[in-house]
Amino acid sequence: MINHGDRLSLGVRDGPQLTEIIVPFFEKYPLLTVKKQDFKYFKQVLVLMDNKAHLTKEGLEVITAIQKKMNRKGDLKGGFDDIEVIKDV
């Protein structure tokens, strides 16, 4: 954790840190803005990734559909159509 004076920042390096630290924090201290819904979508993606859905084309399509609902200022327009699945589980 880094103290920037007017705010704190916390870096995470892997999925387990997201599910063990970040998700519980925002469940205890919920967001009060439009980001609240984005967080719900984010948790859905984490569950999909925990279940290895991101390793299949179909899983990536589901994740892309969720992502397109998030953060309306940024858009992943192309999706994953040009990505080759390396390992299908």
Tens of pLDDT, residue by residue over 37-85, are 999 999 999 999 999 999 999 999 999 999 988 876 544 555 555 556 6
pTM of the model: 0.69
Q: In this structure, what token pair is assigned to residue 64?
A: 């892309």
The answer to the question of residue 76 being in a domain is no
The answer to the question of residue 89 being in a domain is no
Three-state SS for 52?
coil
d(CA 45, CA 53): 9
The answer to the question of residue 78 being in a domain is no
Q: In 3-state terms, the chain is what percent helix, strand and coil (to 5)?
A: 50, 5, 45
The answer to the question of residue 58 being in a domain is yes
Domain region containing 30: 2-69
Let me know: does 1 contact 7? Beta carbons within 8 Å: no
Total domain count, the chain: 1
The answer to the question of residue 84 being in a domain is no
pLDDT value at residue 15:
80
Give me the CATH number covering residue 44.
Answer: 3.10.28.10
pLDDT value at residue 23:
92
d(CA 53, CA 47): 9
